[in-house]
Structure formats: structure tokens, C-alpha cells
Chain A
Amino acid sequence: MNLEEYKGVYVFAQQVDNCINSIAFELIGKGKDLANDLGTEVTAVLVGSDVKGLADELAEYGADKVIVVDDPELKEYRTEPYAHALASVIQKYKPEIFLVGATAIGRDLGPRVSARIHTGLTADCTQLDIGDFPINPVPGKEQKHNQLLMTRPAFGGNTIATIACPDFRPQMATVRPGVMQKKEKKAGVKANVEEFNPGFTPDNKYVEILEVVKAVSDTVDIMDAKILVSGGRGMGSPENFKMLEDLADVLGGTVSCSRAVVDAGWKPKDLQVGQTGKTVRPNVYFAVGISGAIQHLAGMEESDIIIAINKDDTAPIFDVADFGLVGDLNKIVPALTEKLRAELADKN
């Protein structure tokens, strides 16, 4: 493999139902930074059916170029035709870096593509930098420059590892949604589009979609919320979440929850914060009746202000809380809601 042949930062622009997922813009944003460090460009790879019209939106967020793979076989996400699309793009265009969102789609697609291409893939990255590998010179070992250094949590968020892929290209990573920053949208920018279709012939690896069942949800995505009021097992019952909804309403926030609450069937999965849920970084995160398992902390500890309310003063949530209150949430939360309602009414 001639590594010098591989140029440019490419990102998978995930779309579902012809609507681009926020992760695509986050990857373009981060991809721009990496491309600047390398003196190259960022290319978005848009895969789907009748998706060409979405290309300009990718340009508005900073994509220098958009490769569109458009085919009826790609209407709904399926591993094989999507893997074939990305692997073909990589074989033809030879990018040095390829980023994919660590979504329920990307974490299936990324490994399949990396295995087909024979390159490394680092999962669920939370930080990406360009640097040297090894980081410090090691006698007798070549130090390579301009490598992608991929940082990720492991052991349920207890440790952090930085990983490189020095001898294979592209350097591939899946990136945790909600962590990288989008660039500001420049309305009206037109995309530099290149269409590419490698041909899709169904084989044994194509699965059949019998049904698509969408969850009915009209709630705000918790990853976009500025204020989150999050409840855990300590809420005691699904009915008690009404308290949290009232508090969230007063503050213009949104309710989220811990894994225990989802496992108990009290709240749907899309409200779950944590390692197997979503990563959030709101301005204010209320952790109410949440003990703070390490997997939960991994999903919320980057919040600007963390306020914890818990009756157990040894709960690990207090180890990350800016303001921790040991007390009875059933008394504190309704009283807090009333007080805030009065305060905010005075203000207006």
C-alpha cells in the first residue's frame, strides 16, 4: 500500500428519509479542522436514493466537495449496499481519513467497510487530532508525522486511549454524535457535486426489509436541549416524572433519563443519556434520583453545570456535580418548580 496516494478527509453524510443527520455536519466541522492541519479538503459522501438535492446543505456547513452515490437500492439503510457504496468510494478516491458517525447505522457500516478495505477502525471517538506517531520519538522506530490520532473512552468510560493507524489507509474512525462542533451555516453556498455509482447487484448479503416501524415521538432531541432535567431509578415510578416535566417546562428544558428508567419501561430509549444512550452537553443538567453509574457519567459529564439531587450522599453523581443536594427529591423538585415559576413571572 502506497500511503502517499491517499489524500483528503472524507466523511459519511448520514441521511435517513432524505433528511441529513446532525452528525454529518459535526463530522464536516471536525473534518475541516483536520483538513486545514493537513492542507487538504473535506469531502462529504452522500449515499441514498434521490438524495442529490441534499448536497447543498452539506456545502453550507463547509463540505468542499460532495460525492453523491444515488441508487434505488439505497433507499432504506441496509448494511450491504451501503458498505459497497462506501468501499467503492474509498477504492476509487483513496482518502487518507474517513469519518463515520457512531450511530446505530455507522457502528454497523464502519466495521463492515473497514474489514472489506483492510484498514483499522477506531470506535466511538470523542477527540481527533493530527499529530506524530509514536507521540514521542522511540529509538529504532520511525516517527510518522501527520497521523490521525483518535481518542476514545474505554472500560465503560473509566479509561481514555489514543489510537493511530500508521500503516493502513484510510485512517477510519466512528465519532460519537454530539461531541464535535458544527461550523456556522453559510446559507446559499452551492455544492461542488460529483456523482458516482459503482453498480448494485443484489447477492446473498442483501437482506430483505419486511417492515419499517417508526417510533412515534414528538419530543425535542435531548442532544439539542440547553437544559435537561434527567430522572433515574430514584424517581420511584413513571408517574413521578410529571414533576420533572413541570420543572423542565418552567425552565424551557427537556426531560431525559438514565438507563435504569429505560430498562424499567418508564421512558423510551431516545431519552436515555449515557454510554449506550446519547451523549449530551447542555448548559444545565439536573440529575434527579440518578446514582451516577460510570456509564451514565460518560454521557453527561461535559455538561456546563451539573446539579444533582439525591437522597444518598454517597451516590457517585456527587463526584461530578457542580452543585449537589442531599435530600428528598419529592419535596425539593416541586418546591423548586414553584419558586422558579414565581421568580420568572416577576422578571417578565
Chain B
Amino acid sequence: MKVVVCIKQVPDTKGGVKFNPDGTLDRAAMMTIMNPDDKAGLEAALRLKDQYGAEVTVLTMGLPKAEDVLREAIAMGADKGVLVTDRVLGGADTWATSQTLAGALRNMEYDLIITGRQAIDGDTAQVGPQISEHLNIPVISYAQNLKIEGDSVIVERQFDDRYHVLKAKMPCLITALAELNEPRYMTPGGIFDACKAEITVWGRADLKDVEDSNLGLKGSPTQIAKASDKVRKGAGEKVTLDPAEAVDYIVGKLKEKHVI
């Protein structure tokens, strides 16, 4: 069984958010990490490797430095890494990104493709389902649990107030929730393997059955009209009071605002 996991290197927006003195986001000071939902997807794939001896390949699209995230995945236990990088692929929206990854996947063997539900930089959750459409295979998004049964995958698919237990014939694409599992750590042996591992690097010419008009900034139907750092409402009052005074303070404010 062959599993391809699509992973993304993202700035760490959780906890590690840094601001410039003028209140804008200091991107240069932020660490990059493997996107959390993708890491859960990778862990799910590695469990299939442990259980069924699945071969796990990690695939990413990005700048050359995105190779680091592939090596991290190999250190966790992935078998192979493929980096798709090319100047003409830059500035892609989710349509062009999914076209790019689908073009790479057409050159790979897979029974199962796993992506994270969404990346913490863009938060769109669109690339996984869009890849599945381009490859004409079923998608199950928001997976909170998965197992293999013969030639099918059985997945608990989360909704707002319920979950569905779904069965799909492979090949199939799953998008993983961070809650799916607790990802393992890199092992010393894995880190050693990761340093030695040969990363496959593909460019535009290696993508199969994709038109130029569907790639990069030029192939992106959506275009940015305006981007700005968010202006927050700003802090109001902050007081340190003993409990009795604190209670009077809150009650006073609730009265002032006609809440009570």
C-alpha cells in the first residue's frame, strides 16, 4: 500500500506571533513549522506503515527551503520526500496550488492521499478537496479517525454536531484534523536517515497533464485586491483590584452599559 502525504511549511502563528513596534506582523522573526493538521495526516500515514507496511511519501510545494519540512517528516519515519519548486509556480492560489500538486501526484503511485484539513497561514481548507477533484477520486474531509478494510478506507468524518462513518474505495483522498492523533517525535535514527536522504526535486516540467494557464500567479482565478495587517479594537481599561472591589467594578460597568 502506498500513501502520499501532502505537507506544508508554515509560519508558526500559534504562540510564536511577533509584532513590530508599529503593531504589524513581524514575519521575519517567526519560526516555520510543519503545518499541524498535516503533521496529524503524516502520523496517520506512519501508523499505516507500522500496521500494514505502507510506503509513505511526503510531498510539498514551496521554496527550496521547504526541503527542511520533508526532512523533518523523514526523521519521523516517512520513506521518501518530493519537493515541487519552480519560480513559475509562485503566487499560486488554491486552484493553482491544487493543480500543481495534482500534476505531481499523477507521476506518483498512491492508494491513499492524505492532506491536512487546512494550513494555519491561509486557513482555507480548499487544496485537499480541489486535488481530489482534479484527480477524479473521492474525498473525505475532516477525518477524526481512519482505518483500512480490504481495498477501502473507513473514516470518521466530523461535522458540527455529529460524525459520519464513511467508507470509500481507494484510491481516495483524506483531509486530516489535528485531533486525529498525537504525532510522534523524530527519532535519533530517523534524524540520521533524514540527513542522508535524497530529496526528489521536481520543477514545472515534471508535472503531468497540467496547462501553464493553470499554474502560478497567472493561473490563479483569485487575485489580491488589498492586504493589510489587522487593526484591532485596542485595549480598554485594565485594573487590579481585590475580589470585593472587582465585583463592584464589574457590576458597575454592567449597569452603566444597561446589561442589568
**Chain A interface (Cβ within 8 Å of chain B)?**
16, 76-80, 83, 103-105, 107-108, 110-112, 114-116, 118-124, 133-135, 149, 153-168, 204-215, 217, 227, 251, 263, 270, 275, 283-284, 293-295, 297, 301, 305-307, 309, 313, 318-328, 331-332, 335-336, 339-340, 343-344, 347
Contact = CB atoms under 8 A, between A and B. Distances in A.
Given A159-B227, A325-B239, A108 B122 contact: no
Interface centre among A122, A155, A251, A327 (most CB of B within 10 A): A155
A210 B240 contact: no
Contacts of A110: 126
A213 B160 CA distance: 11
A165 B222 contact: yes
A343 B260 contact: yes
B138 to A, nearest CB: 5
Given A133-B223, A163-B225, A284-B254, A301 B233 contact: yes
Interface in B208-260: 220-230, 232-244, 246-251, 253-254, 257, 259-260
Interface size class of B (residues with CB under 8 A): 35 or more
B130 A112 contact: yes
Contacts of B141: 79, 104, 107-108
Contacts of A149: 225
Given A153-B230, A319-B235, A339-B247, A115 B160 contact: no
A156 B227 contact: no
Given A156-B13, A208-B167, A323-B250, 18 more contacts: A107-B126, A111-B124, A115-B129, A120-B95, A120-B220, A163-B222, A164-B225, A205-B139, A209-B165, A214-B162, A295-B14, A305-B257, A307-B253, A321-B235, A323-B239, A325-B239, A335-B244, A347-B260
Contacts of A332: 243, 246-247, 250
Contacts of A157: 230
A120 to B, nearest CB: 3
Contacts, number: 266
B133 to A, nearest CB: 4
Given A205-B138, A214-B162, A336 B236 contact: no
A103 B120 contact: no
B198 interface: no
A107 to B, nearest CB: 5
A205 B133 CA distance: 9
A159 B230 contact: yes
A339 B260 CA distance: 12
B29 to A, nearest CB: 13
A306 B233 CA distance: 11
Contacts of B132: 112
Given A114-B130, A270-B160, A205 B227 contact: no
A157 B17 CA distance: 11
Interface string B102-138: 0000000000000000001111111111101110111
B190 interface: no
Contacts of B140: 79, 207
A293 B15 contact: yes
A153 to B, nearest CB: 7
A121 B239 contact: no
A202 B224 CA distance: 38
17 contacts: A83-B133, A104-B142, A104-B160, A115-B98, A115-B134, A153-B123, A154-B121, A158-B13, A164-B225, A165-B221, A204-B137, A209-B164, A209-B165, A322-B236, A325-B246, A332-B247, A336-B250
Contacts of B159: 16, 77, 104-105
A210 B167 contact: yes
Q: Interface on chain B toward A: helix, strand, loop, or mixed SS?
A: mixed
B192 interface: no
B197 interface: no
B106 to A, nearest CB: 15
Interface of B: 11, 13-15, 17, 25, 93-95, 98, 120-130, 132-134, 136-142, 154, 158-169, 179, 220-230, 232-244, 246-251, 253-254, 257, 259-260
A336 B237 CA distance: 18
A341 B258 CA distance: 16
Nearest to A208: B167
A293 B12 CA distance: 13
B138 A204 contact: yes
Contact of B247 (A107, A123, A159, A336): A336
Closest 9 CB pairs of A and B: A120-B221, A156-B13, A115-B133, A120-B222, A123-B124, A322-B236, A324-B238, A111-B129, A111-B126
Given A123-B123, A164-B222, A307-B253, A323 B129 contact: no
B30 to A, nearest CB: 9
A247 to B, nearest CB: 10
Contacts of B165: 209-213
Nearest to B17: A294
Contact of B125 (A111, A133, A293): A111
A79 to B, nearest CB: 6
Nearest to A318: B238
Nearest to B128: A111
Contact of A133 (B126, B154, B164, B225): B225
B241 A327 contact: yes
Nearest to B253: A323
Given A123-B125, A168-B221, A208-B166, A328 B243 contact: yes
A320 B251 contact: no
